[in-house]
Structure 1
Amino acid sequence: MSTLLVAGISLFAPMTALAQDAHVAPVKEFISKNVETWLTDPVVIAAIKEQNATTAGLDEAGIDKLDKEWRAQATATARPMVDEVLGRELSKFLMAKKDASQGMITEMFVMDAKGLNVGQSDVTSDYWQGDEAKWQKTFSAGPGTVFVDGVETDESTQALQSQASITITDPETGQAIGAITVGINLDML
C-alpha cells in the first residue's frame, strides 16, 4: 500500500510543477509588451552607469556594510540612505511606471553590476540583491535574459504575484550593466 502511495505522489509531482509554471509565459509576455520598451530610457541607463562607476571598487566587505546599513534603516524613522535612493530620478521614474500600471506592477527595483539597488518604487528589505536568483540569473547570464520566479502570495494584499527579472543592457555597447526586478500581480494577468 505504501509503495502505491509513493508511486501516486511521484506521478502527480510533474503536474504540480506544470501548474506552478503556468504563470511564466503570461508574465514574460507582459514584460515584453510593457516593461522592456522603457529599459533603455536615458533615465534608467544613466542611473545604472553612474552607480556602476561609484561602486566598481567595492569589495564584499564594503557591500556587506552598505547592506547592513540599509537593513537597519529600512524600517527605522531616520533613514537617510533609503530616502536618498527613493529620492533619485530613477526611483521617481519607477514609481510613475508602477502607478501607471493600475495595480498590475506591485514593485520594481533596478540593480547595478554588483547587485546593489540603484532605484526602486518601494522600500526593499535589503540593498544587495547580488546573492539572490533575481540578479544571478539575469545580470550574470548576460543581455536578453528574463528570469521569472515562482508564485507567492503578497502578505499585504493577499494577491498572487511573481517577480520577473530582466538584464538591462547598455544600448551603446550591448553589454549587461544591471538588472531590474518587477513584481507582477498574477490575479490581474
Structure 2
Amino acid sequence: MLTTLVLTPPSGNALLLASHSPHGTDDSHRQMQCIMQQLQLPYQTLAMPWRRAKQEVKYNRIDGYYTAMASEEMHDTAVLSAPLFLENWYWFWHQRNAGPDNGAKLRYGAVLGSHQADWLRSNDITAEIEVSDIAQLLQLLHIGRIDIFIADLEDFDQARVRLKLPAEDFQQRFLRYAALGVYFSAQRLQQHPGLIRQFNAAAHLCATRSFALSDIEQRQISDLMLEHVRSLAKSAVLRQAVIRQNQAAMSIAQVQQADLAWQQQLAQPDGMPTQANTLLQHPASAALQHWQANYQTLVNEVILMDNQGANVAISRLTSDYWQGDETQFLSVFQQALDYYIEVVEYDQSTGRFQVKLSVPVLDETGVHIGALSIGIDVERALTATD
C-alpha cells in the first residue's frame, strides 16, 4: 500500500495525490510537506496501491501521484512536474559475467513495479525474475541466478554495504538519469491555473536529495573536458576581452541594473535583450561558438565572465547578464579551486540533464581576472567515456 496526500487549497477542493517514493517515504513526505507549506496548502495522508493510483488519475478520481517518471501511458491525462528526485541509473553485473551490449544472452532481473522494470518492458527486454526489493536482486546477482539488472547508483551501494558484499565483485556502467516528479491530473490543473508553475518553483526550493555527481562521475567529466576548457580559458582573444571589460570598471549597481534590463527584455515577445545581441556579435563570442561547435551536442553553452561575474562573451543567449551571485562564478574566482563541477540540472523543456564545469580565467601573471563556464550534457558525457 502507498500513502495518498489529501491537499486542501484555499478553494476548499481537496487534491488527492498517491505517493510512491523509491528513496523512502520520509524524504518524499518531508519534501512534500515543505512544498505545501510554501504553497500554503494543508494536507493529510491516506493509503492507495500504486497501480490503482495511475488508474484513478486517468479517470479523474484522484489528482496525481508521485514519485513518477515520464510515461507515454500518462501523456494525455496528466502533466509531470519538475523533478523532486533524480535517479542515477546504472547497469550492474557480477565481475564473472558479461556486461550489456556484448551480444551474450543475459538473464535480467528487476524490482517488481519499479521504474526500471517499466523501462525494461518499454525496451522489449524481459526480466526473468522480479522481486520485492533491491537487496533480493543483488543477492540473486551474487549467487548467479541473474546476470544483470538496472538500479539507482546510491540504492545499489547502500544495498551492497548492508549485505556486506565486496565492491570489487561487481561491474557497473552508466545508463541514464531518470527525473521523478508528480504527475498531476490535467483536469485538476485546468481547475487550478498556475498550480504546476507554483509547485515547480517550490519543489526547487525544497529539494531534499542532492543532484550532485558521484566522485567517479566527476572524474569522468573532468577527464573528458577539463583540459579542453583550461586551454580555452588561456585563449588570447578571451583574455583580452575580459581585461578590456574589467578596465571599463562598471560598478556593481550598474551591472545589476544591466542584469535587470536583460531579464525584462528577455520576457518581451521578441525575447532578445539589446545587450545580448551586442555580446553575440563580439569576436570573443564567435570564438566561443566556434569552440562549442567542435563538441556538437556534448556542450550546450559557454559563458565568459569578468571579475564581477558579468557576461563578457556568450555562445548563446543566457537567462541572466550577471552570474556574480551564482556558483559557476563564486566557486572559482579568487578561490583555491582551479575548477568546479556543479550539481546536475534538469531542463524540463528538453528533458536533458546538464552540469556546469567552471574554471578561472587568469592573466599572464596568474592573477584571476574572470571565469569561464561551460554547460555539459551529462548523460552524453558519461556515455562518451565508456
Q: Same fold (TM over 0.5)?
A: yes
Task: Pick the aligned partner of 1:153 from 346, 349, 352.
Answer: 346
Q: Deviations over 1:30-53 (max 9, x none)?
A: 232322122211111111111111
Task: Pick the aligned partner of 2:263 from 71, 78, 102.
Answer: 71
Q: CA deviation at 1:75?
A: 4.3
Q: Distance in 1 between matches of 2:279 and 2:260?
A: 15
Is the 8 Å Cα contact of residues 211 and 345 (structure 2) preserved in structure 1? no
> Aligned partner of 2:261: which letter?
E
Superposition pairs for residues 14-33 of structure 1, below 5 Å? 20-22=213-215, 23-33=217-227
Q: CA deviation at 1:155?
A: 3.0
Q: Distance in 2 between matches of 1:175 and 1:140?
A: 9
Is the 8 Å Cα contact of residues 359 and 373 (structure 2) preserved in structure 1? yes
Task: Pick the aligned partner of 2:326 from 110, 124, 132.
Answer: 132
Is the 8 Å Cα contact of residues 169 and 178 (structure 1) preserved in structure 2? yes
Q: CA deviation at 1:19?
A: 7.3
Seen in structure 2, the aligned counterparts of structure 1 residues 80 and 100 have a Cα distance that, compared at 3 Å, is: same
Is the 8 Å Cα contact of residues 218 and 341 (structure 2) preserved in structure 1? yes
SS in 1 for 2:308: coil
> Aligned partner of 1:62: which letter?
Q
User: Going by fraction, where is helix more abundant, 1 or 2?
Assistant: 1
Q: Deviations over 1:2-30 (max 9, x none)?
A: xxx97xxxx97x96769732432122222
SS in 2 for 1:140: coil
Task: Pick the aligned partner of 2:305 from 74, 94, 111.
Answer: 111
Q: CA deviation at 1:73?
A: 2.3
> Aligned partner of 2:299: which letter?
I
RMSD of aligned alpha carbons: 2.5
Is the 8 Å Cα contact of residues 262 and 274 (structure 2) preserved in structure 1? no
In the other structure, the counterpart of 2:295 is 101
Seen in structure 2, the aligned counterparts of structure 1 residues 17 and 63 have a Cα distance that, compared at 3 Å, is: closer
> Aligned partner of 1:94: which letter?
L
Q: Distance in 2 between matches of 1:104 and 1:122?
A: 15
SS in 1 for 2:334: helix
TM-score after normalising by structure 2: 0.42
Say which structure, 1 or 2, has more relative contact order (CA 8 Å, 6+ apart).
Answer: 1
Seen in structure 2, the aligned counterparts of structure 1 residues 18 and 157 have a Cα distance that, compared at 3 Å, is: closer
SS in 2 for 1:20: coil
Gaps of 5+ in 1: none
After alignment, is 67-76 or 102-111 more displaced?
67-76
User: Going by fraction, where is strand more abundant, 1 or 2?
Assistant: 2
Superposition pairs for residues 3-42 of structure 1, below 5 Å? 20-22=213-215, 23-42=217-236
> Aligned partner of 2:341: which letter?
V
> Aligned partner of 1:148: which letter?
I
Q: CA deviation at 1:164?
A: 0.8
Which protein has the larger Cα radius of gyration, Structure 1 or Structure 2?
Answer: 2
In the other structure, the counterpart of 1:62 is 254
